[in-house]
Amino acid sequence: MLIHTTVFAKDYTLLSPDKKITIKISVEKNITWSVLKDQELLLKPSAMSMILNDGRNPGIVPVVSKTISKSVNQTIVSIIPVKNKLIPEIYNELKLRMKGNYSIEFRAYNDGVAYRFVTELGPRPIEINYEEVAFNFKENCQIYLPKENNPELQSHYEADFKPAKLEEIPATQYGYLPLYIATPGGTKMVVTEADLHDYPNLFLYGTGTRTLTGNFPKVILESSPKPNSDRAEIIVKKAVYHAKTTGNRTFPWRTIIISSSDKGLLENEMVYKLARPNTLTGTDWIKPGKVAWDWWNDNNIYGVDFKSGINTETYKYYVDFASAYGLDYIILDEGWSRTTTDLLAPNPQLDIEGLIKYATSKKVGVILWALWKPLDQHMDAILDQYVKWGVKGVKVDFMARADQYMVNFYERAAQETARRKLLLDLHGAYKPVGLNRQYPNVINYEGVRGMENNKWEETITPVHNTTLPFTRMVAGPMDYTPGAMLNTNKDEFHISMTSPMSRGTRAHQASMYVLYDSPLQMFCDNPSNYLREPVYTHYIARFPTVWDKTVALEGKISEYAVVARKNGNNWYIGGMTNWDARGFDIPLTFLDGKKYKIEILKDGINAGKHAADYQLISKEVSAGETLHIDMAAGGGYTAILTPIG
Per-residue pLDDT tens digits for 386-427: 999 999 999 999 999 999 999 999 999 999 999 999 999 999
pTM score, two decimals? 0.97
Number of residues in the chain: 645
558 lies in some domain: no
pLDDT of 261 > 80? The answer is yes
Looking at the structure, do residues 190 and 62 belong to the same domain, yes or no?
yes
**Displacement of CA 32 from its chain's centroid (Å):** 29
Assess if residue 564 is contained within a domain.
Answer: no
Q: CA 465 to CA 391: how far, in whole Å?
A: 32
Q: What percent of the chain has pLDDT over 70?
A: 99
Same domain, 247 and 119: yes
My answer on whether 215 and 294 are in the same domain is no
Domain that holds residue 620: 571-643
Q: Which helix (H) or strand (E) holds 105?
A: strand 102-109
Distance (Å, whole) CA 508 – CA 17:
39
3-class SS string, 21-87: EEEEEEECCEEEEEEEECCEEEEEEEEEEEEECCCCCCCECCCEEEEEEEEEEEEEECCCCCCCCEE
Domain check: are 388 and 451 in the same one? yes
Q: Give domain status of residue 490, yes or no.
A: yes
Domain count, the chain: 3
| Residue among 111, 158, 328, 452 flagged as catalytic | 452
**pLDDT above 90 for 320:** yes
> Do 390 and 450 fall within a single domain?
yes
On whether residue 554 sits in a domain, the answer given is no
Residues forming beta bridges with residue 397, ordered by sequence position: 371
CATH number at residue 589: 2.60.40.1180
User: Is there a domain that residue 283 lies in?
Assistant: no
| pLDDT for residue 376 | 98
Residue where a domain terminates, one of 212, 240, 274 = 274
| Same domain (yes/no): 122, 262 | yes
Q: Assess whether 612 and 533 both reside in one domain.
A: no
**Quick one: pLDDT band at residue 5, thresholds 50, 70, 90?**
very low
Q: Where is the domain boundary, 241, 274, 307?
A: 274
Mean pLDDT along residues 602-618: 98
The domain spanning residue 405 has which CATH number? 3.20.20.70
Give the β-pairing of 289-293 and 520-523.
Answer: parallel
Cα 136 to Cα 181: distance, rounded to the nearest angstrom: 12
Instruction: Out of 483, 512, 546, pick the residue that ends a domain.
Output: 546
Same domain, yes or no, for 49 and 179? yes
Beta bridge partners of 632: none
Sign of CA dihedral 427, 428, 431, 434: negative
**CATH number of the domain within which 212 lies:** 2.70.98.10
Of 272, 298, 250, the residue nearest 194 (C-alpha): 272
User: Whole-angstrom Cα distance, residue 143 to residue 527?
Assistant: 40
Catalytic residue among 148, 158, 193, 397: 397
Say how far apart CA 148 and CA 134 lie, in whole Å. Answer: 19
Q: How many C-beta neighbours within 10 Å does residue 456 have?
A: 11
Does residue 93 lie within any of the structural domains?
A: yes
- Tell whether 353 and 481 lie within a shared domain: yes
452 is catalytic: yes
pLDDT given for residue 645 in this prediction: 80
In a domain, 249, yes or no: yes
Question: In the beta sheet, which residues pair with residue 49?
Answer: 132
How many beta carbons lie within 10 A of that of residue 267, not counting itself?
17
- Does any domain span residue 608? yes
328 and 303 in a common domain: yes
**308 close to 299: Cβ distance less than 8 angstroms:** yes
Measured distance CA(564)–CA(642) in Å, rounded: 13
Torsion sign (Cα): 126, 127, 132, 133: positive
User: Would you list the DSSP string of 536-565?
Assistant: HHHHHHT--SS-SEEEEEEEETTTEEEEEE
Confidence class for position 1, pLDDT limits 50, 70, 90: low
The 8-class DSSP code of residue 315 comes to H
Mean pLDDT estimate for the chain: 97
pLDDT (tens digit per residue) in 450-485 = 999 999 999 999 999 999 999 999 999 999 999 999
Q: CA 271 to CA 441: how far, in whole Å?
A: 17
pLDDT of residue 6: 43
Residues 81 and 19 in one domain: yes
3-state secondary structure (DSSP) of residue 309 = coil
Backbone angles phi, psi at 541, to 5 degrees: -70, -15
Specify the DSSP element, H or E, that contains 528. helix 527-531
Residues 266 and 294 in one domain: no
294 is catalytic: no
